Structure 1
Amino acid sequence: MVELKELQATDELEQVWEESTENPVLLFKHSTTCPISAGAFKEYHAFLDSAEDNLAGYMVKVIESRDVSNEIADKTSVKHESPQIFLIKDKEVLWNTSHSKITVDAIKDALKRS
């Protein structure tokens, strides 16, 4: 099981980027007002509950922490969407997807390919 941590400040995002050099990082952008995001978040959470510990799991609430969400878009050069998930390793985005494509199986497949 992987503990889910919430990012609320841009300096925390810098720490996540550094952490990705030691372990793969999953970063989820979540809209707390969107039912599609709620469904994707359940998938993400289900994945983390069954995942091994050699992975880090993070979440950003896009409305409440807009500056962090915007920084992710800038840092990754990936257009903002929510919900959206990123697999980051060695400070590089290896995979990302959004909306209903965020599933337990899609996350597992992305990690196998990384």
Structure 2
Amino acid sequence: MNWNTLTTIAQLETIVNTQSFNEPILIFKHSTRCSISSASLSRVERNWKEGDNSKIQPYYLDLLEHRDISNHIVTLTGLEHASPQVLIIKDGKCLYNASHSDIRYDDIMDKI
């Protein structure tokens, strides 16, 4: 799986306001200190298939380093912060979000 790393608020703005109008976006908000977050990330990565990046662009957000970006996601989407959390963004809107053990590869792929 080839993650794009989300590192700036400006990058997030471009992803939501421009890129998501061309292709669906997956944002995985990950806490590197949380075992539940690590397990959820691992489940997604184990199930990711070659070619999935052509269906949805995956972005990885390290919450410990970039909490400001997570806070901005709350502002843009109106969703409550969770960790771990996945969001699918399309046409500037969040179509799907899940957190903790509700993060499942099949659910993600069903939503795109």
State the match for 1:58 in structure 2: 59
Contact 1:21–1:90 (Cα < 8 Å) also in 2: yes
Can you give the 5+ residue segments of structure 2 that lack an aligned partner in the other structure? Answer: none
Contact 1:4–1:48 (Cα < 8 Å) also in 2: no
Deviations 1:57-82 (A, max 9, x none): 00111111011111111111000000
How far apart are the structure 2 equivalents of 1:78 and 1:68? 13
Structure 2 counterparts to residues 26-41 of structure 1, below 5 A? 26-41=26-41
State the match for 2:89 in structure 1: 88
The answer to whether the aligner puts 1:24 opposite 2:34 as a matched pair is: no
Deviations 1:50-109 (A, max 9, x none): 415132100111111011111111111000000000011000100101000111122122
How far apart are the structure 2 equivalents of 1:65 and 1:19? 21
How far apart are the structure 1 equivalents of 2:58 and 2:48? 7
Contact 1:36–1:100 (Cα < 8 Å) also in 2: yes
The letter of the residue matching 1:40 is S
Match of 1:20, SS?
helix
Contact 1:3–1:57 (Cα < 8 Å) also in 2: yes
How far apart are the structure 1 equivalents of 2:44 and 2:15? 18
Match of 2:54, SS?
coil
Normalised to the residue count of structure 1, the TM-score between the two structures is 0.89
The total of aligned residue pairs comes to 110
| CA distance 1:82–1:23, change in 2 (3 Å) | same
State the match for 2:14 in structure 1: 15
Runs of at least 4 residues of structure 1 off by over 4 A? none
- Structure 1 window deviating more from structure 2 (60-69 vs 38-47): it is 38-47
State the match for 2:44 in structure 1: 44
RMSD between aligned residues: 1.4
